[in-house]
Amino acid sequence: MDKNLRSFAFLAGAFCAALSGAGCTTHQCDAQAISLGADAGGTGFWTSYCEDTPTNCQIIWSSSDTMNSGWTDFPGDATLTFTFPPLPALPPGLTPDFANIQWNVSVAAGAPIPDASSFNVTPAAGQLAEFTSWSSSSISVLNASCQQYQLLLTVMVPVLAQDGGLPGDVAVEGDGGAQDALADSTTIE
């Protein structure tokens, strides 16, 4: 290989290396953690669906009170931690089951237009909906892309009877199976 070809190959390699490292040094998308509602007693709001349906009870938390306004800024490479407000009152004997939550995450490229009849929104998936933690007091979601979005987050929490069963379940007393049948039998000699 002649000297000119080696010099060209070296320069081409150096140029490619410089381009591949440019995204890591621009600071256009630095990681950040943003806490929402921790100082204010919580953010968003709870809705309870337990009063009229004792056998299918759940509470739902939403980060915004409406579909078309008040969405949360969701910067690129940011983890948002939403602190929940106090839980709503539940009927006696019921407790939320935070081990089995479900969620719905929607993102929009721009802010929703208040009272608009439509705008573009999509369910978030993959790198736009990485949940890093959740508990009975908060939930954290990561935007692992470098794109800025608007976020609407909904968390559905099932509600169970304190004995671990579904609300409205009725235990059948005296159903001990064969042992109860033997105890209730009489022997004639």
| CA–CA distance, 88 with 56 (Å, rounded to integer) | 16
- Render pLDDT for 34-80 as a digit per residue (tens, 0 to 9): 999 988 888 999 988 876 655 678 999 999 876 666 789 999 889 99
Residue recorded with tokens 């490292």: 21
Which of helix, strand or coil describes residue 16?
A: helix
Rg of the chain on CA atoms, in Å:
28
| CA–CA distance, 157 with 58 (Å, rounded to integer) | 6
| CA–CA distance, 106 with 4 (Å, rounded to integer) | 55
Among 30-39, 155-164, 166-175, the range scoring the smallest mean pLDDT is 166-175
Number of H helices, E strands in the chain: 2, 11
**pTM of the predicted structure, to 2 decimals:** 0.67
- The whole-number pLDDT of residue 189 equals 41
